[in-house]
Structure 1
Amino acid sequence: MARTTSKHPFNLYYNGGEYVKICGTQDGYFPDFGHHVANEMGGVWLHPIKLLDGFWLKLTDKKRNISVWSRADGFTSEPWDSRFQYDHGLSYIPVSMERTQFAPEHVKGMTAAYEIKHYGDEELQLQVELLFRTDLRPVWYSDEVGIHDGTADEATVLNPREVLVKDSSHDWYTLVGTDLPGDQVETRPDLYGPEFTAGAGCGIAFRTELRLAPGEKHSFNLFVAGSHTSREEVEETYRHLSAHYAGLLAEKREVYNAIADRAKLTIEGENEWNEAFTWAKWNNQWLIQKVDGIGRALTAGGPTYPWWFGCDNTYSLQGVLAIGDPQLAKDTLNLLLQKSEEVNGNGRFIHEVTTLGAVSNKGNTQETAHYIAFVWDLFRWTGDEELLRRHYDYCVKGIDWLLGEMDPDGDLFPSGYGIIEIAGLNMELIDSAVYTAQALRAMTEMSGYLQNSEAQNRYSKLAQRCADAVNKYFWQEEEGLYADAVAPASDVAPKVDYMVSLAEGQGINDYREYVDGLLAASGEDASADRGWLLNKNWVIVTPMEAGIAEPDKARRALDNMRNDTFIGEYGTYLSGMYQQGTMTISTGVHAVAEVANGNPDAALDLLNRMKRSFSRVMPGSFSEMSPDYGCVVQAWTIYAIAVPFIRHFFGVEPFAANHELKIKPQLPAAWNGKACSLEHLVVADAKFDLTLTQNDGTLKAVIHNEAGWKVTVDWNGETVTSSEKHIELELSAN
């Protein structure tokens, strides 16, 4: 299960440890690509700096004077490393080769091991050249805060097999080396391999000659260490890495095996889902980024968004809790809170912070509300009262910001940008309104738990008013759908030309007529608020996802979205109007909305569509955009998989502070008669094993409850509660 293999050499891969990230193409090369830092998003990164543009290997048959830059023709992804096979990529030289590379979880470096095998029938005289291109430069958004890349990388040969490189303007270092035999080494700014890279670094070549008898193998390693603070640190890291790389790889395998065993899903006969679920957990680990002096948190996606986001994490961390990594959820939320306090201080929750610690967007409206809702969710899963109190004060400020500065008309719908960041669409949007209602419910619960009855009563009344307003003003009775936005016609009319240009850019040529029709139907009072179904964006499903929609409206809206206007081959479109893109998050939220409203079969259909994109680009991963573009690994995919499976199909609802676990399963009909197990489910400091089997209206449940928590199983209205350590029961629907 751990390995998955690709034959698509020009696709990207992305992996690493918590410090170092590696990205190139599956042929073993490192082409320039990317737009945040133009042409610099690949290579080897030790955030907040880049270390290398890449490394390459050249082989020369000295007898026949044939030289080949090795290019892999096979790629194997494992959770702890990447493997490149060179079976036919060394044309005319009778050798095959494998390269295995990895970055340890907690070491600021990486290593690659090469094994060359001579399969000819005569002695081979082989020249080997291992070439690096350094590129010590900072992460995106550094120029804006006054941190600029030096004009050059300065190389110092420490010995024939180790070269230290420093940025000319900063204490940024990389130390590269190899255990190849020999003493030939060369460094030059204009020394390149098979790819010309854009960075202002230097080239380093280690060379040697080997004599290989027929059938003989030769193995060697390369080592890369880095530091963005000191020469002493990079040298210490290099010594540790080069001396202990085998043990570090073994440690990393243990980490990933433990991840596989935690919240281990096994659906009988559903091997594809069992595999995809495990890989999603491993993908999540790849995206953890630790930066000394700033913190440790889950990044949004690799290689395009390798820094920290508020919006992405308020989704992703729901899945992180479900797969049993509460520490990552705490670390991430604490880092985002700290940055929000530093740059805002008024309750606004940040949108985007780079690994340098620079905040490029102080926060969209939606994510402040979503953050507040998640704080209560985090407490329910961890029971960490100190954490709750730490965040509660900022949540109070957040509600005041949402319903104060961002809601000048006092209708409980804060204005501004939401999840859909389309220029000009900074109105009273559905996702911001829904998550504000959800946040007010969370504040009611938090205030009650903290015994602040006055605040509890106030938030309770506001929560009900806000939910009622969403169902009144956003609901479109004729369409049977929720609107994208609420605004007076006088606010929408000036935006028409821009919205038309966006639509025409997506090939929608009759959009002006559509919007003009909406404006004509808006009535004579251009200043009156009303709902607008402008784009049929996927976020119109959030009232059902968050439990804000009234039951009849939820049923009608979901029925009316279960068609090819909203759903394509790979899941839910970002816009039902445009039908130009699909993401794991749009599909995942739609699936949660379905199962949360009693439609597990419809939810599984959406998830099965999403599963079609699994391994399409990078083996073992879902791309950001389904089926095959954007980031090759995306954090909020863990929401799209773990939340519907664990929180809804299995129905796991914890309240850790009271040592209570409620299980309210909704198993799809496709799993009828199949044993569905979830082993080592982690809630706070307790672990549970669940096995559920649904058979024609009857549920058999076996639950291992070693901590002796109060466990309640609710199956179609029949409820059983037990604190036994081993629970077996059979329930039938009423």
Structure 2
Amino acid sequence: MKKHPVIWGFLYTIFTVNAIASLYAQNGGKQSLKFSGIDRSVKVSDLRQVPFFLAGKSLYEIGFMNGSFPAQSNETAERGVWSHPIKLLNGFSFVLSENNQYTWALTDATDFESDFYSARFSFSQHHLSVTREDFVAENDKALFVKLKINNDSPTDRTLKLNFSGIVNIRPSWRAETLRNDKDSIYYKNGQIYAFDSSGLLTMGSPINPSAYFIQQDTAALIYDLCLPAEGSIEIPFLVTGECGTISKSVTTLQERYNRLINCYNPEKEKKQKKYTHSINEGVRLDCSRKEIVDAFYCAKANILMNIKDERPLYPDLFLGAGVPVYPRLFGTDFCFSIAGCLSGGFKDISKRTLNNLLYYTEKNLRAPHEISSDGILLGWDHIQVSPQLVNAVWEYFSWTHDSTFLAEAYPLCKRMIQDIIKDIDAKNGLYIQGHGLMEEAEFKNNWVELTTAAYTFPALNCMSQMATIIGEVTESRLYSSLASAYKKRFNVDWWDDSHNIWPSALSGSGEKIYSHFWNVVFPQKTKLAQDKNGQIAFKSIQKHWVNDLWGMVGKYNEGADISHDGVGLVHNNICATAAFEYGQTDLGWKLIQLSAQAPLSLQESPLGLFPECQPHGCSNISQLWSYATFIESLVKGLAGIQPGIPGSPIEMYLQIPDDLDYLTIDGIEIGNDSFSVSWKKTIDKRLLIQIDGDVTNKVKKVIVRINSSLPYKVLLNGKKKKRWNKEVFYGIDTETNVLCLP
């Protein structure tokens, strides 16, 4: 088979004309999300501007919903086809032509439909209807694409199909050990091959091409098609790649291609079963607000879509922080997210991600902030991650009761905390200086950032509880004493009644710095704020930081109008969880509803994905700490479910919003015990609460608190429970009882 330079020149002209036209002509249409009980659609003014995202553990694809791919103007936004730590393609395209009558680039889709694990693009012109379907194999470095071409005319048709890829094999912009060289591209036995020093790829179809061309970074396979009158044809394609160019990588690549090239349907079926089971089973939620239910299952899907397998560069699988800018391991993002992952039932990937973080912590006695795509520690410059990692280890143990894991992690946590606090003591506040979560330039290295100060407190408590489990009684008492002193000192040093809110930092001299960032929620989230201070802080947050359109803004500027400001979803979700803890049901419920807009109704964002921000997505279209903390706000916030250590009670603090008629969460597992909780408002305006459990011990205590003015009845495994007591909890009057699951 020979090259076709004439065809190349012809197609280059087509691509140029289409590129120029795309600058001026909008591509309006519709995007839809359909998965199990989710069926949502929104009109889109221009599908060329709305990205889509499909992923497996070792490869992902990001393009636009019209069928095109983004221009590569920003190397930090890792879009196209990636198998980290390397990129494979800037994108690919299909062009149909018929006897020189027309050329039709399939970049004008009018409908886009996704179900999380696959996507379909619909095209129609020239009495042809075309559907392109993409999906990424779950456990292979493989992108599958299939075209179905329908002949809508009563005559036979002869077409040419061009399948071209824009090759760009290069390392991630945060890779440390790989370099970007000139790509070499060649054709052999019906396939396109490309390689450089960092990796290689191949692409093709089970159908033999009639021609091919290679020009600069573009390589194409050309197919002759015969369509009978009102008939159709389906053509599958496969793209696969591998990091490294040693002979073993070449062999692995070709073996994978040969194994998968005829497996489109079985691989898609495997992917569908995996997603259906992982999303619909395990922890389940239902309530009277359909948008909350849909958003909950979207959040579970986002977790699946961001599980990464980059072994052997990383020790284990992990959850990436976000795409397309942060498809790597971030300690900060995961430590904020682990409670949501665990309360959503994702215990295995939570443990694996923790194992990675502990591995990198061992080297420096500081928890890592960011790891490169090729597994190199990039820095631990966010000091708050270290106490947060201690909290994350304890959170995992509280949900799983995995004593083997705790025994392995505890010595490292102990050495890290001791090293961090060795030069400070309770008298001086135990405050850890250094850059924390807030990355603004105004924060100085010798300041104590509020995030770090807040998360140090639960870290001390967690160390005390770990030491108790391990059997180090003296250590347990020491950390418990430090935590108690820390809380008292913090509320003196950081609170000022004249401001009614926390400062964002303390300077090196102890001066309060009121920058009014969203970190003002952390003393409540970590239960560090004293009851009175916490309630006052929430009044200030609701007044100055929360708007009615989107939620909690990142920064409040005195006198500024924030009514239309966009927000980070993590702000909403963390604030909601903390608000519920303090009995601020209306605020927590409002923020949950506002966060649920992001995956369901933003016209210029992909349906089903939780972006970094709303109404505009900011840097990432799927962000770990957006979707994981949303799950936490429902399970640990709205339902108030708190895990505990073996033998301790399970706690739940039920919130009853005025405009929510019923709520059910089942499939909750804590250790070896499983249970469900549900409540509904009856016709006669009473509250019926049901708690059902399957416990391994003879008796399991459940502490139930109810924040509602409605008369209620509680059934525990079908039996009515009475004798409820009044209790003030974080400054709010509640009804409380200690129940026993038989």
Shared fold (TM-score, shorter chain, > 0.5) = yes
Per the alignment, residue 61 of structure 1 pairs with 98
Which amino acid is 2:84 matched to? H
1:91-136, Cα deviation, whole Å (9 max, x unpaired): xx22111111111111111101111112134332211101112221
Cα distance in 2, alignment partners of residues 380 and 412 from structure 1: 26
Per the alignment, residue 236 of structure 1 pairs with 255
Which amino acid is 1:666 matched to? Q
CA gap 1:360/1:566 in 2 versus in 1, 3 angstroms: same
Preserved CA contact (<8 Å) 2:201 2:253: yes
Larger displacement relative to structure 2 (434-443 or 682-691): 682-691
Preserved CA contact (<8 Å) 2:97 2:161: yes
Q: Does 1:623 align with 2:611?
A: yes
Which amino acid is 2:668 matched to? L
Q: Does 1:576 align with 2:581?
A: no
SS of structure 2 residue aligned to 1:371: helix
Cα distance in 1, alignment partners of residues 425 and 164 from structure 2: 58
Cα distance in 1, alignment partners of residues 394 and 381 from structure 2: 20
Preserved CA contact (<8 Å) 1:710 1:723: no
Q: CA deviation at 1:155?
A: 2.6
CA gap 1:594/1:214 in 2 versus in 1, 3 angstroms: same
Cα distance in 2, alignment partners of residues 571 and 406 from structure 1: 38
Preserved CA contact (<8 Å) 1:132 1:205: yes
Which amino acid is 1:72 matched to? A
Per the alignment, residue 420 of structure 2 pairs with 402
Per the alignment, residue 298 of structure 2 pairs with 279
Following superposition of structure 1 onto structure 2, how do residues 544-563 of structure 1 map, counting pairs within 5 Å? 544-563=524-543
Preserved CA contact (<8 Å) 1:372 1:439: yes
Cα distance in 2, alignment partners of residues 362 and 70 from structure 1: 43
CA gap 1:66/1:406 in 2 versus in 1, 3 angstroms: farther
Which amino acid is 2:69 matched to? F
1:39-74, Cα deviation, whole Å (9 max, x unpaired): x61111111111111110001121524444543222
Larger displacement relative to structure 2 (112-121 or 2-11): 2-11
Q: CA deviation at 1:350?
A: 0.6
Q: Does 1:389 align with 2:407?
A: yes
Q: CA deviation at 1:566?
A: 3.9
Q: Does 1:260 align with 2:285?
A: no
Cα distance in 2, alignment partners of residues 683 and 86 from structure 1: 49
Q: Does 1:377 align with 2:395?
A: yes
Which amino acid is 2:581 matched to? A
Preserved CA contact (<8 Å) 2:612 2:623: yes
Following superposition of structure 1 onto structure 2, how do residues 197-276 of structure 1 map, counting pairs within 5 Å? 202-229=217-244, 230-276=249-295
CA gap 1:717/1:112 in 2 versus in 1, 3 angstroms: closer
Q: Does 1:314 align with 2:345?
A: no
CA gap 1:34/1:309 in 2 versus in 1, 3 angstroms: farther
Per the alignment, residue 493 of structure 1 pairs with none
SS of structure 1 residue aligned to 2:613: coil
TM-score (norm 2): 0.84
CA gap 1:564/1:430 in 2 versus in 1, 3 angstroms: closer
CA gap 1:487/1:659 in 2 versus in 1, 3 angstroms: closer
Cα distance in 1, alignment partners of residues 590 and 621 from structure 2: 23
From 634, 650, 654, the counterpart of 2:643: 654
Larger displacement relative to structure 2 (674-683 or 271-280): 674-683
1:263-283, Cα deviation, whole Å (9 max, x unpaired): 454444211111111011001
Which amino acid is 2:629 matched to? A
CA gap 1:684/1:113 in 2 versus in 1, 3 angstroms: farther
Preserved CA contact (<8 Å) 2:595 2:630: no
Per the alignment, residue 116 of structure 1 pairs with 149
CA gap 1:369/1:702 in 2 versus in 1, 3 angstroms: closer
Q: CA deviation at 1:140?
A: 1.9
Cα distance in 2, alignment partners of residues 249 and 688 from structure 1: 33
1:682-724, Cα deviation, whole Å (9 max, x unpaired): 3344443333235656442141426567251513499x9x999
SS of structure 1 residue aligned to 2:637: helix
Q: Does 1:102 align with 2:89?
A: no
From 212, 225, 229, the counterpart of 1:185: 212
Residue segments in structure 1 that go unaligned for 5+ positions in a row: 191-201, 489-526
Cα distance in 2, alignment partners of residues 65 and 565 from structure 1: 56
Per the alignment, residue 19 of structure 2 pairs with none
Per the alignment, residue 349 of structure 1 pairs with 367
Following superposition of structure 1 onto structure 2, how do residues 157-196 of structure 1 map, counting pairs within 5 Å? 157-160=187-190, 162-167=191-196, 169-170=197-198, 172-188=199-215, 190=216
CA gap 1:72/1:100 in 2 versus in 1, 3 angstroms: same
Preserved CA contact (<8 Å) 1:566 1:575: no
Following superposition of structure 1 onto structure 2, how do residues 272-671 of structure 1 map, counting pairs within 5 Å? 272-293=291-312, 294=314, 295-342=316-363, 344=364, 346=365, 348-404=366-422, 410-426=428-444, 427-487=447-507, 527=509, 529-533=510-514, 535-577=515-557, 579=562, 581-615=566-600, 616=602, 617-630=605-618, 631-655=620-644, 657-658=646-647, 661-671=650-660
Preserved CA contact (<8 Å) 1:704 1:727: no
Preserved CA contact (<8 Å) 2:72 2:90: no
Cα distance in 2, alignment partners of residues 682 and 178 from structure 1: 45
Q: CA deviation at 1:363?
A: 3.6
Following superposition of structure 1 onto structure 2, how do residues 120-131 of structure 1 map, counting pairs within 5 Å? 120-131=153-164
Which amino acid is 2:136 matched to? A
Identical pairs, percent: 21
Which amino acid is 1:624 matched to? E
Cα distance in 2, alignment partners of residues 659 and 290 from structure 1: 36
Larger displacement relative to structure 2 (308-317 or 117-126): 117-126
Q: CA deviation at 1:568?
A: 5.0
SS of structure 1 residue aligned to 2:612: coil
Per the alignment, residue 739 of structure 2 pairs with none
Cα distance in 2, alignment partners of residues 678 and 104 from structure 1: 31
Q: CA deviation at 1:205?
A: 0.8
Q: CA deviation at 1:606?
A: 1.3
Which amino acid is 1:254 matched to? K
Cα distance in 1, alignment partners of residues 267 and 425 from structure 2: 53
Preserved CA contact (<8 Å) 1:473 1:530: no
Q: Does 1:12 align with 2:51?
A: yes
Which amino acid is 1:310 matched to? G
Which amino acid is 2:140 matched to? V
Larger displacement relative to structure 2 (701-710 or 362-371): 701-710
Residue segments in structure 2 that go unaligned for 5+ positions in a row: 1-33, 725-734, 737-742
Cα distance in 1, alignment partners of residues 512 and 686 from structure 2: 41
Report the number of matched residues: 662
SS of structure 2 residue aligned to 1:422: coil
1:137-192, Cα deviation, whole Å (9 max, x unpaired): 111223xx352112x222342302x222221x24x12111113454312223x2xx
CA gap 1:66/1:561 in 2 versus in 1, 3 angstroms: closer
SS of structure 1 residue aligned to 2:167: strand
SS of structure 2 residue aligned to 1:350: coil
Cα distance in 2, alignment partners of residues 677 and 317 from structure 1: 22
SS of structure 2 residue aligned to 1:663: strand
Q: CA deviation at 1:479?
A: 1.6
Preserved CA contact (<8 Å) 2:576 2:637: no
SS of structure 2 residue aligned to 1:614: helix
Preserved CA contact (<8 Å) 1:690 1:701: yes
